[in-house]
Amino acid sequence: MDDTELTHLRAAIALAAEARAQGRHPFAALVVDGRGRVISTAMNNSRPPSGDPTQHAELCAVGAAARTVRPDELADATLFTSAEPCAMCAGAVYWTGVGRVVYALSESRLLELTGDNPENPTFALPCREVFARGQRAIEVHGPLLEEEAAVPHIGFWK
């Protein structure tokens, strides 16, 4: 992991803090193409009552990227996300063709922070397990910067 990639991951964490400040769940993601250009960003928009439970940041970011660039460019792209993609978001990564995922907060650490909060019924299903069932390889790096990524969640889920 080089400094540029850590900068992108920290940008996702900062967007997660911004999502919290806007009253959203504290998750965010961005997609960066193979040349290092940010092609999409997204914050979570699933919080009741006005949010859509399918509008996780990762799903929104890869969906926007898929509408912006060619499939061969997505294969060289990286999703940087403040937390490990859930099963739904891992599926979106797979179906959009994004080739690489870098995440900060692990699902297990997230569960420690959320507890049994009904707004985030965390899966005990790592994204690597979801990707392993697919027909193409997706490179995964994480968890990284977990303590930094935990900050926007501390006190939110109580």
Active-site residues, by number, are 58
Largest CA distance in the chain: 43
Question: Cα–chain-centroid distance for residue 86?
Answer: 8
- Rounded to 5 degrees, what are φ and ψ at 54? -90, -5
Closest by Cα among 2, 5, 9 to 148: 9
Strand partners, 80: 30, 102
Closest by Cα among 25, 1, 34, 28 to 14: 28
Q: Determine contact, residues 123/87, Cβ cutoff 8 Å.
A: yes
- Rounded to 5 degrees, what are φ and ψ at 15? -65, -35
